[in-house]
Structure 1
């Protein structure tokens, strides 16, 4: 093959195309300097025939690379040798990019393919075996880079699948909550955050295989749909129950407002208490409705009780004179105690009770204190009366005498048993008879004491 006459400055084969080298912003790529081929100079691998044809020696023999008309044999060899050096420099530069930068395996493979094209078309003089060895090194480095990238992609996909699984699991956990325990606002916000996290993983995370991503998305979508359906049902039911509660509370407010001017203090106060119980059982309306209705209900209730308290305060002022009278009567009643003469005590108490009833009501704050004081005196007199009745009751006295008679007979029998046991010399029977006799004698002493009370 005879090459065309070159221009004075022949073009360089150059490095692989820019598409074969990935641009990296951080960190900056190291400066790359292609190394010159080692070994003998490139010219030593060629010769120039007498007709000017240039040949290159290869492991398979010589082959023609071209001619350089009008040039000396040295100039012709130098020209084709320089082309070899430039081609080798391109190969070494690609090798450095594959092994020392983050050039992707794909871009490295593309660069290697273009380099092979240049080598296949190149007519150069040099160590073609060394060039082939450099290309083999590049191929091995590209293969290693691709294997590394495949492992990294696999690890990234596994991590991404784990992260997506965590998103799906949390969504399913939110959707599976019992309705009574769901915090709808917080759970709804978290569901939206999980969707944004899913989208972020899709945009910037490792890409999952279609089957895995499809299965996870179906679970995630099902959890979101289940939660949204439950939320819609919940709030639809809530809206209905709130409407019912609002209607019920409006009716209660109307009743409360109708009783505001009532002066039947006791029964109306009870009615308000019952209204309050019904209010608590009516459920909750919306917050705005609940607050507005409660303000009306409370205003009506407060108006009634304010009027009631005003009347009670006026009455209490009027009852203070009665309180002074009853305090003196209570002192007079307490002087009856302790009861020593029951008939005199009963007569004195009746006189105090008549005056007590005639004295009238006392202020509300003093009612409990005064009534308890009088009840203590009345109970003490009643207890004394009951005690005297029990002592003079013939039926009770007869029962007491009967008990004494029975115990005396039992004691006499046990004494006879004791004497027999002592006569027999049986210590065990003596102890048993003695113990029974002592118990019966104690009961007899107690029964005789009770009988003495009845006999005076």
Structure 2
């Protein structure tokens, strides 16, 4: 209420407040209470009690409802206490309209009471019938209007409701208990709901305890305390459940972060020559984005674990970036060196491109190609340009060489026809029946073979093998004849025959003696030796016959 309203209230009309008073009554006095009755809640079911009580006869209030417990006459009623509309129950001001003028100050309770006594009281028809509360059975009202609540075997005074009947006063404080009990029941439901966080329940429980501590109500306070105890126990269990869920989520998040770090470390640990820098760099950036996403919306890790993982992740990224810079710096140096080497090779190749010294130049180009492969790579653009120049010089030489070779091939085809005929003639030498005649025929073929000249490259191997086969057959026959006519060989063969015959005679004599003496073991050994010597004698005699002995 305004200060103006308070100033119009005489001191002898103030209400004594001993314990709990509504905000308007306790803070602004009867004038404020009067203002509410006139301006906000006309013709309520409780209004006559105030209107008909003179200010100087206002009874002392031992304890009136608190701000959240104020009766309808002191504050705007709750939904179930809403007064009937003004048009159904006209206010006294409507019976005697005041002239249009600046709004006067709100009259005091005494003045209002005098005016109300001078005219008949309009009928009051309550628009809302309060529902009976069973909580009232836990309280009582004494003869002086004081309300008490039963707590076990004791009673506790909760306040009074001036101008109301004992049942109305009891029901008022009982309804206030029902409101708190409803809040407690709601909190019990919320603590059982897994979707409601423990913090929300804890905040609600704290508020509920504050209301219970300050409340002056009538009801089953023991049941209310039991509800609070149940909520506290369920809240402790919920906190443990949430703590376990958070620990599980934190463990899973740690595994996910660990996987990010491990992959980053694997990328950073690759050998520089085997690293796909572009793809690896893109993957590193993606891992960083994933890490940030975990920080923004994922489960929070404990500080030491997150710091440790971040240090590893940061170290891997820094190592990768450093390795990439080092690699490309070295690559630039290597490419510059390769470029210089290949430029020298290109100049040499271009100098050889017009050479007609086919064989040596071809070998020189092969050597240049080997050096090119070992030189490394320059940048793609420069390397492609240098290779184009090198290949052009190489093609120029080998194209010219191929043209000359093609002309030679035509000439060599005529030589091939001559050698084909010579091969047919040489084939007639075999088989050899007259060695000297065969040697003379072969010499004639060989002389004409050399004079025929080169044949095409594709036919060289075939023709050379054919003539070599005939030459080998004649040479082997000549060597065999020489061996058979060699006096030294013949003498060695005759000497071997003589020695073997003498040895056989000795063995036969020993064998006869062993047989006569009955020495079976010696007989067996001598028999084996005799057989071997006889085989060798046959071979020696055959060799002697071959050499003409």
1:152 Cα deviation after fit = 1.1
2:326 to 230, 233, 238: 233
1:45 Cα deviation after fit = 1.7
Q: Does 1:395 align with 2:456?
A: no
Within 5 Å, which residues of 2 pair with 1:19-58? 41-58=134-151
Judging changes above 3 Å, is the alpha-carbon distance between structure 1 residues 402 and 199 closer, same or farther for their aligned structure 2 residues?
farther
State the structure with bigger RCO (CA 8 A, min sep 6), 1 or 2: 1
Q: Does 1:98 align with 2:182?
A: no
Equivalent-residue separation in structure 1 for 2:220 and 2:229 (angstroms): 14
Q: Does 1:88 align with 2:181?
A: yes
Within 5 Å, which residues of 2 pair with 1:399-418? 399-418=492-511
1:288 to 359, 381, 392: 381
Partner of 2:217: 124
Equivalent-residue separation in structure 2 for 1:117 and 1:11 (angstroms): 21
1:165 to 254, 258, 274: 258
Equivalent-residue separation in structure 1 for 2:377 and 2:501 (angstroms): 77
Partner of 1:34: none
**Could you say which structure has the larger radius of gyration?**
2
Q: Does 1:348 align with 2:413?
A: no
Please say which of residues 177-186 and 382-391 is displaced more in the overlay: 177-186
Partner of 1:339: 432
Partner of 2:288: 195
1:197 Cα deviation after fit = 3.0
Q: 1:220-249 deviations in whole A, cap 9, x for unaligned?
A: 333333333333333333332222222222
Partner of 1:6: 71
SS in 2 for 1:57: strand
Q: Does 1:79 align with 2:172?
A: yes
TM-score by length of 1: 0.88
Q: 1:134-190 deviations in whole A, cap 9, x for unaligned?
A: 111111121111111111112222222233233333333444445555444444444
1:214 Cα deviation after fit = 1.9
Please say which of residues 165-174 and 400-409 is displaced more in the overlay: 165-174
Partner of 2:236: 143
**Root mean square deviation, CA, Å:** 2.3
Partner of 1:214: 307
Equivalent-residue separation in structure 2 for 1:56 and 1:190 (angstroms): 72
Partner of 1:435: 528
Equivalent-residue separation in structure 2 for 1:424 and 1:179 (angstroms): 92
Partner of 2:393: 300
Judging changes above 3 Å, is the alpha-carbon distance between structure 1 residues 282 and 434 closer, same or farther for their aligned structure 2 residues?
same
Q: Does 1:245 align with 2:357?
A: no
Judging changes above 3 Å, is the alpha-carbon distance between structure 1 residues 439 and 180 closer, same or farther for their aligned structure 2 residues?
farther
Partner of 2:248: 155
SS in 2 for 1:455: coil
Partner of 1:380: 473
Equivalent-residue separation in structure 2 for 1:395 and 1:239 (angstroms): 78
Please say which of residues 171-180 and 68-77 is displaced more in the overlay: 171-180
1:454 Cα deviation after fit = 0.9
1:114 Cα deviation after fit = 0.6
Gaps of 5+ in 1: 13-39
1:373 Cα deviation after fit = 1.4
Partner of 2:359: 266
Please say which of residues 262-271 and 157-166 is displaced more in the overlay: 157-166
1:449 Cα deviation after fit = 0.8
- Alignment coverage as a number of residue pairs: 430
Partner of 2:13: none
Gaps of 5+ in 2: 1-18, 20-62, 80-132
Equivalent-residue separation in structure 2 for 1:349 and 1:431 (angstroms): 57
Partner of 2:226: 133
1:49 Cα deviation after fit = 2.4
Equivalent-residue separation in structure 2 for 1:310 and 1:160 (angstroms): 74
1:351 Cα deviation after fit = 1.2
Equivalent-residue separation in structure 2 for 1:158 and 1:189 (angstroms): 28
Equivalent-residue separation in structure 2 for 1:286 and 1:387 (angstroms): 69
Equivalent-residue separation in structure 2 for 1:120 and 1:263 (angstroms): 116
SS in 1 for 2:158: strand
1:421 Cα deviation after fit = 1.5
Please say which of residues 161-170 and 431-440 is displaced more in the overlay: 161-170
1:304 Cα deviation after fit = 1.6
1:360 Cα deviation after fit = 2.0
SS in 1 for 2:547: helix
Partner of 1:26: none
Equivalent-residue separation in structure 1 for 2:421 and 2:266 (angstroms): 75
Q: 1:225-275 deviations in whole A, cap 9, x for unaligned?
A: 333333333333333222222222222222122211211111111111111
SS in 2 for 1:124: coil
Q: 1:252-306 deviations in whole A, cap 9, x for unaligned?
A: 2221222112111111111111112222222233333333333322222222212
